[in-house]
Structure 1
Amino acid sequence: MPNYCNRCDAKQYHEDGSCTFENKTKSHDLRAELTRQRKNGEFVDVVVEVAGREFPCHRAVLAVTPYFQTMFSSNLAESKAKVITLHDIDSGSFSKILDFVYTGEILIGKDDVQDILQAAHMLQVEEVLECCQRFIENNLCASNCVGVMLLADMYGLCDLKTTARRKAMFQISEVGQSEEFLSLSTQQLLDLLGDKELGVEKEDDVVLSVMRWLDHEPESRKTEVSRILPVICLSRVRVSVLEKLEVHPAIQESPECLAKVTATKEGHFSGSPQLMADTGREEAGRKPSCWITDDLAIIIGGWKAVTKERYSQNPTPPVPLRSIICMDIDRDQCYHVTDIPTPIVGCMSVASAGRYLYMTGGRASSSLHPDPGGSNTPSKQAFLYDFATDTWTRLPDMPRGRAGHQSAIVDGKLYLVGGETASTLFNMFSMECFDIKAEAWIQPPKVPAIIPSPNLKVIACGGKLVLIQGIKKKSRFCVHALDVKTQRWTYASRYVEAEDFDADFRATAVGNKVHFCVDMRMYSDVYNYDVDKETPSIEEKQNTQDVKKELHIVHAVCDRRKRYVKGQKGIINTISRKTYKLLVGQFRSFYHYGSGHTELILPFALFGHGFLATKKSRVGWFCRDQLATVEKEKELHDLLTYYYPSSDDDY
């Protein structure tokens, strides 16, 4: 007699001495036997007819599915019928589902997954539904995710719908070019484009996709444009695309929409700071994604910084950058904006008023260039650059040459502060003033006694010209503010715990407050100066009623600075964007650097440049079509990416 106990996979003894034996292969053998009987027509007791094709089956096996179990246990005629006919189902799909019921295996392909899904949904075979969902998820792409989203919604597959929707949201640019995108209803389109998490890198793609959608059924959809336009971030659409939208028939037939598109286009050219509000973006619609910013870093001229290693091998003067470049923070891409129309290529200052950049002063050669006969004197030249139209205008020469200075525009006047002048190299805080409307240099305001310091930031804020100094010897922040209307100066100072003001001195203006700090890498406490206070002071605490929860400061910094030749002052090789969060406490609230740090490597290291942190919507960025990219040089990339620092390296 065969010893069946030895074939058991498991056994369990009980308290009464009895034992339960389990043979796990028995269920597999049973499935195999039932499958053999079905194929040979043995002991079958019902035939299922689908689309003219007959499937002999065992009634008991079919009853494991809720659909047939309900059928066989009811008082309907099918409960005892020898032949059951199913309608609205594909015979091939039923065959595969029947194989699954008998064997637990099913073959699903791209050509039949939807038919199998439909059949499984009708027959209530949950296991097959799950298999179809997994198969579809594994084959999701930009070209089919909209169709999958609609399919999942039809069959109530919430998880699949969520996955497909997420795919569509994060690849909306590619999704907008698919054929399935055109089949969306108005409400489905609004739900997708109006989602706050929509991953849009270029709003141009959204507009072009919407125009494709409108053109697919022009007569029925032209009236929907007034509902769709508010969910588009028009303020982030390039003028060339807005011009296409402006002449679209659906926009032309809606005076309200036409006025909104036209106003946005004109706002780009004017560089209006109210552009976001003017286009209705603040009141309703989708805001830009949290990872999409309006920040733009502009760099004018300078010289390519030389490392000690390169200089030891080839001690030649640094190469000048005879152009304006800019770093798109969102795309981590540097672009060539325009060439500089003068041999003066470095130590210039730049300030902006809307789409206009004012470039002043500078030098023809760097500190590492030979200067026979003292010919490298500060320049008097001044230029106006129109970012939107890519045109230069020569302005009247400055009263005296100036280099290495800073500048800001307040109340229609351009102020130049500090730097070296042609008259004396030590007059750090002399000033010049240019009346923009009159196009003339006028008498500058008197400058109070200020301790010379290389750590100077000049910022326009609330009708005031604000000069911020970090005085290393006294470990103090000092602020001098000029009310340009009354010509009155105010002063405030504060002790700060900063080891090195040269490391990373950051400042920005938001509303009527100037925020500034010295970055310590591990921590950074942000101070603020309220220009509207009668008795201004430098404060660390914040009034939570009138400040933002997050503060973003874009700055140019230098990593591995000790790897470069000395004498190249103010080297930058990285654009840094840091986020400072407002910490609200019981006794005080303050900004503190915690997380949210973006560092973008420049194409090459520079010194003697002009730097401006601005906003795309203000400077006319969207008036220009795609600019030429500036490729990153391998030397800098390797230095910052692969170099292992020594203990004396300065970060």
Structure 2
Amino acid sequence: MVEVETSTFEARSLFKDSFKILRQLYEEEELCDTMLKVGEKAIHCHRVVLAACSPYFFSMFTSGMGECYQDTVTIKDIDSYALEQIVRFAYTSKVVMTTENVQSLLYAACLLQVEVLAKACCDFMKAHLHPANCLGIRMFAEQHNRMELMKCADKHSCDNFLDVIQHDEFLQVTAGHLTAMICSSDLNIDSEEQVYEAVMKWVKHDMATRKQHVSDIFRHVRFPMLQPSYLMSAVEREEMLRQDHSCRDLIDEAKNYHLSKASKVPGLKYSIRTQPRKSCAGVLFSVGGRGASGDPFKSIEAYDLRNDRWFQIPEMSTRRRHVGVTSTLSKLYAMGGHDGSDHLNTVEMYDPHINKWTILSPMATKRRGIAVASLGGPIYAVGGLDDSACFHTVERYDIESDTWNFVAPMNTPRGGVGVAPLQGYLYAIGGNDGVASLNSCERYDPHLNKWVEICSMIKRRAGAGLAVLNGFLYAVGGFDDNAPLDSVERFDPTKNEWEMVGSMSCCRGGVGVSALGGKVYAVGGHDGGSYLNSVEAYDPILDKWAEVSSIGICRAGAGVATCDCTVTRLKDIGQISVVSCV
């Protein structure tokens, strides 16, 4: 049998050449088999081209509808210019979009189901979002069920909230839209006062019709985050709020919150309103520590909660591992530690407003594994160790005079101790006494200058992290002698009891811990085999840990603290800073 030879020929340019002919026929109105009529405008075209481009027309011309047999098809509710542009797009695959025509094009593309054009219109609108138009675009996107565009507009208004509220569009948003905006923890603000004033501005723009929404909207304003002076001088005197029972309750909640912070009201009920928004929750700093090389670091990484990212700030003047770090009065303090050769008693302070470290007066005692915390103004440096002993000594630093003095020592020597202030007391938990890891705990009363024992932890912990959140102490990770821990326990001062809570995803000894934005963060540490750069956050409502963005360098023995500053205040990020002396 003779084998038949075959060959496939493909004219690659044929479809393009054919469409050039179709376009020519369209422009010259030749061989057209339908006319689209919209208003006074008549567009002669070819059904097959429309059907190939638009599922709407495909269905119209192939499903036996009346339009199949009509020479003229009337199109309603579409702008004539937009329809003409879409028909031309069917022949040319091109359309000119402008800020003036894109909305009518998107509306027509959605109605005629030309999805590729609708997506292009959305992309164009996303690229041209502005504080002056993002709210209107968001409303338009919602009307046409363009969810991706709506999310982008929401994010833009959230990112640029302070600019958005200056434009007229803000005053025209619905109560529901305003509520959706201000309930977000991602709202980019400098202070909660800005949210309060924006809502008040919106309500007073049309008081007669908007007063009915006052209680529903204001419950999403975080009154406890308002400064006490502003709360009393501006908010409490606002007659509109005084006349609304729900708003009065919100103001009372804020007062109780501030009294609770001053240890005047116990048992405060915490809610989303008692948590700051991410942009003004503060900045988490991871300071010093060491990695696999064994050499201590002098580098510092800062965490941007709102954008879940870490970035570097100027280094300390000295390398420090097992360093004590705390924050007070919007400044960051690093004390003691070990520089790889010697134990340290030196102290330095970072001011985020000027992006600079300043050397302060040294402590009396050189030590590593020290824990530091601010209580009622002064800073306390507690415990620690050197190569020969663990310490029970406590030094107190007066910020104003830049001087140190000793206060009452702890009852037990504690190296690698965890320290935190809570309700007017300073708590010291765990550590190592030179023989073994400890589960014992004690607290310091600054008025009596006395330490007293409290309930012991369930686990022995040295090198654990300690944080305060919502009136509880959280003891995180650490070492039970040489074994790193993944367990976490919580102390309730009203009951003098510890209880276990959700464990971390991995063991972390020498972990840095701090509270930020309503969660407890565990940064780095050592898992028994390697140094870690992973970071996880504990949600007390869910009783679960979740991973967040990792730090740039594996660190254990770093000091971690949250400073009351904003990311935008950190100037000249990444630039080398000059170190000055007092």
TM-score greater than 0.5 by the shorter chain: yes
**Rg: which structure is higher?**
1
- Change in CA separation of 1:156 and 1:489 when aligned onto 2, cut-off 3 Å: closer
How far, CA to CA, are the matches of 2:265 and 2:534 in structure 1?
A: 23
Structure 1 contact 194–285 (Cα < 8 Å) conserved: no
Tell whether 2:101 aligns with 1:112: yes
- Over the residues paired in the alignment, what is the CA RMSD in angstroms? 5.8
Alignment map for 1:182-581 (pairs within 5 Å): 182-195=171-184, 202-239=191-228, 242=231, 243-248=233-238, 250-261=240-251, 264=254, 267-268=257-258, 271-272=261-262, 282=271, 293=281, 326-327=331-332, 334-335=352-353, 351-352=374-375, 356-357=376-377, 403-405=404-406, 416-418=407-409, 466-467=427-428, 470-471=431-432, 473-474=434-435, 476-477=437-438, 479=440, 481=442, 489=453, 506-508=465-467, 515=475, 543-544=500-501, 553-554=513-514
Secondary structure of the structure 2 residue equivalent to 1:21: coil
Equivalent position of 2:338 in the other structure:
none
- Change in CA separation of 1:533 and 1:483 when aligned onto 2, cut-off 3 Å: farther
How far, CA to CA, are the matches of 2:101 and 2:200 in structure 1?
A: 33
How far, CA to CA, are the matches of 1:633 and 1:131 in structure 2?
A: 37
Aligned mate of 1:32, from 20, 25, 28: 20
Letter matched to residue 248 of structure 2 = L
How far, CA to CA, are the matches of 1:74 and 1:577 in structure 2?
A: 59
Offset of residue 35 of structure 1:
1.5
Structure 2 contact 332–563 (Cα < 8 Å) conserved: no
Tell whether 2:10 aligns with 1:50: no
- Change in CA separation of 1:326 and 1:167 when aligned onto 2, cut-off 3 Å: same
Q: What stretches of structure 1 of length at least 5 have no aligned partner?
A: 1-14, 298-303, 309-322, 337-343, 362-378, 386-393, 395-401, 406-415, 419-428, 430-447, 556-575, 584-589, 601-610, 640-651
Structure 2 contact 478–484 (Cα < 8 Å) conserved: no
Count of aligned pairs: 464
How far, CA to CA, are the matches of 1:32 and 1:57 in structure 2?
A: 14
Structure 2 contact 504–545 (Cα < 8 Å) conserved: no
- Change in CA separation of 1:276 and 1:77 when aligned onto 2, cut-off 3 Å: farther
Structure 1 contact 172–200 (Cα < 8 Å) conserved: yes
Structure 2 contact 34–71 (Cα < 8 Å) conserved: yes
Equivalent position of 1:444 in the other structure:
none
- Change in CA separation of 1:66 and 1:544 when aligned onto 2, cut-off 3 Å: closer
Offset of residue 107 of structure 1:
1.7
Task: For residues 517-540 of structure 1, give each alpha carbon's deviation from its aligned partner in whole angstroms, at most 9, with x where no partner exists.
Answer: 6699x977677696989999xx9x
How far, CA to CA, are the matches of 1:229 and 1:86 in structure 2?
A: 46
Offset of residue 163 of structure 1:
3.3
Letter matched to residue 352 of structure 2 = C
Aligned mate of 1:137, from 113, 116, 126: 126
Structure 2 contact 538–544 (Cα < 8 Å) conserved: yes
Aligned mate of 1:128, from 112, 117, 122: 117
Structure 1 contact 172–206 (Cα < 8 Å) conserved: no
- Change in CA separation of 1:248 and 1:629 when aligned onto 2, cut-off 3 Å: same
Aligned mate of 1:94, from 49, 60, 83: 83
How far, CA to CA, are the matches of 1:481 and 1:637 in structure 2?
A: 39
Offset of residue 53 of structure 1:
3.1
- Change in CA separation of 1:454 and 1:593 when aligned onto 2, cut-off 3 Å: farther
Structure 1 contact 506–519 (Cα < 8 Å) conserved: no
Structure 1 contact 137–163 (Cα < 8 Å) conserved: yes
Structure 2 contact 192–221 (Cα < 8 Å) conserved: yes
Secondary structure of the structure 2 residue equivalent to 1:162: helix
Name the one with the larger strand percent.
1
Task: For residues 315-357 of structure 1, give each alpha carbon's deviation from its aligned partner in whole angstroms, at most 9, with x where no partner exists.
Answer: xxxxxxxx965259xxx97259xxxxxxx977599853xxx53
How far, CA to CA, are the matches of 1:217 and 1:469 in structure 2?
A: 59
Letter matched to residue 334 of structure 1 = P
How far, CA to CA, are the matches of 1:591 and 1:119 in structure 2?
A: 47
- Change in CA separation of 1:417 and 1:468 when aligned onto 2, cut-off 3 Å: farther
- Change in CA separation of 1:477 and 1:350 when aligned onto 2, cut-off 3 Å: closer
Q: What stretches of structure 2 of length at least 5 have no aligned partner?
A: 286-314, 320-327, 334-349, 355-359, 365-371, 382-394, 516-532, 554-558
Structure 2 length-normalised TM? 0.60
Offset of residue 552 of structure 1:
7.7
Task: For residues 489-538 of structure 1, give each alpha carbon's deviation from its aligned partner in whole angstroms, at most 9, with x where no partner exists.
Answer: 5797999897xx7xxx7544566756276699x977677696989999xx
Offset of residue 226 of structure 1:
0.4
Offset of residue 599 of structure 1:
9.5
Letter matched to residue 377 of structure 2 = L
- Change in CA separation of 1:270 and 1:470 when aligned onto 2, cut-off 3 Å: closer
Equivalent position of 1:9 in the other structure:
none
Offset of residue 257 of structure 1:
0.7
Letter matched to residue 136 of structure 1 = M
- Change in CA separation of 1:117 and 1:488 when aligned onto 2, cut-off 3 Å: closer
Of all paired residues, the percent bearing the same amino acid is 19
Structure 2 contact 461–478 (Cα < 8 Å) conserved: no
Offset of residue 227 of structure 1:
0.4
- Change in CA separation of 1:597 and 1:220 when aligned onto 2, cut-off 3 Å: same
Offset of residue 164 of structure 1:
2.9
How far, CA to CA, are the matches of 2:109 and 2:574 in structure 1?
A: 56
Task: For residues 155-207 of structure 1, give each alpha carbon's deviation from its aligned partner in whole angstroms, at most 9, with x where no partner exists.
Answer: 12233333333444444444444433333222232233335665666433322
Task: For residues 237-296 of structure 1, give each alpha carbon's deviation from its aligned partner in whole angstroms, at most 9, with x where no partner exists.
Answer: 334654444445542432431352365257547735699986x762x7796557864689
Structure 1 length-normalised TM? 0.54
How far, CA to CA, are the matches of 1:130 and 1:277 in structure 2?
A: 53
Structure 2 contact 109–115 (Cα < 8 Å) conserved: yes
Offset of residue 593 of structure 1:
11
Letter matched to residue 75 of structure 2 = L
- Change in CA separation of 1:523 and 1:137 when aligned onto 2, cut-off 3 Å: farther
How far, CA to CA, are the matches of 1:20 and 1:130 in structure 2?
A: 37
